[in-house]
Amino acid sequence: MIQNSNSVIEDAAFRHKVEKGRALFAQETKFFFGAQRLDQLQPATLPEVALAGRSNVGKSSLINAITGRRMLARASCEPGRTKQLNFFDVGNRLVLVDMPGYGYAKASKTVKNDWQKMMFSFLRGRPTLLRVLLLIDSRVELKESDHQIMKLMDRAAVTFQIILTKCDGLSYTQLISKEKELSMVIASHTAAYPILRLTSSQKKTGIEEIRADLAELVTR
């Protein structure tokens, strides 16, 4: 079979992006700072990518999978307990920001409002923030808090990319349906990045694509 020349070029370009992502995250990654209030933040000197999502969506697992470090980010034993912004340095080239999970049912209304104010202020006032990875659990229907955070990022004019997590828990048919649903959601938001990523931290599905996306951001 003769392979189309355009396909060959596209395959080579994809492999090049994947290799850049692998090289970026082959470097030392370390936790270096945590802040419970915005006035505790250190000056930003490197490009940043934040990870946001509902409590128990799998942010810690995704960070560990992307960086190849099993215990770099640690999930709290109690969902919704993490209340600070955690910063991870990737080879002195990129900073990953792990944001507190939102939408925890047992959190008081005051706590939820304070979290939203903190997040909006951080997003709007962080000039080095290149993108937010918004994690959505593929097994769970979108909640009102998910829609609120997307609207918040539209208002803050911060680009966000939806990352579907725990996709190994869905059948192929369910996954296709979920992908169509989220594609429509993406099209309805001005700040949404058009490419949806489907992931499984356990099976490492979609990890090299996310690494490639982040490496491309850093090298622009």
- List domains and CATH numbers for the chain: 5-219 (3.40.50.300)
**Nearest partner of 199 among 161, 165, 160, 152, judged by Cα:** 165
SS3 14: helix
Q: Indicate the pTM of the whole model.
A: 0.88
CA distance 4 to 11: 11
Strand partners for 8 = none
pLDDT digits (tens, 9 = 90+) for 131-165: 999 999 999 999 998 998 999 899 989 999 999 99
CA distance 103 to 124: 20
Give me the count of residues in the chain: 220
The DSSP H or E segment spanning 87 is: strand 85-90
The pLDDT of residue 80 is above 70: no
Q: Using an 8 Å Cβ cutoff, are 201 and 62 in contact?
A: yes
pLDDT at 114 (0 to 100): 67
Q: Which residue has the tokens 């990129």?
A: 94
Q: What is the mean pLDDT of residues 13-22?
A: 91
- The backbone torsions φ and ψ at residue 192, rounded to the nearest 5 degrees and listed phi first, read -80, 130
pLDDT digits (tens, 9 = 90+) for 22-57: 999 999 999 988 888 888 888 888 999 999 999 889
CA distances to 142, 153, 162, 202, 213 from 64, in Å: 24, 25, 18, 10, 16
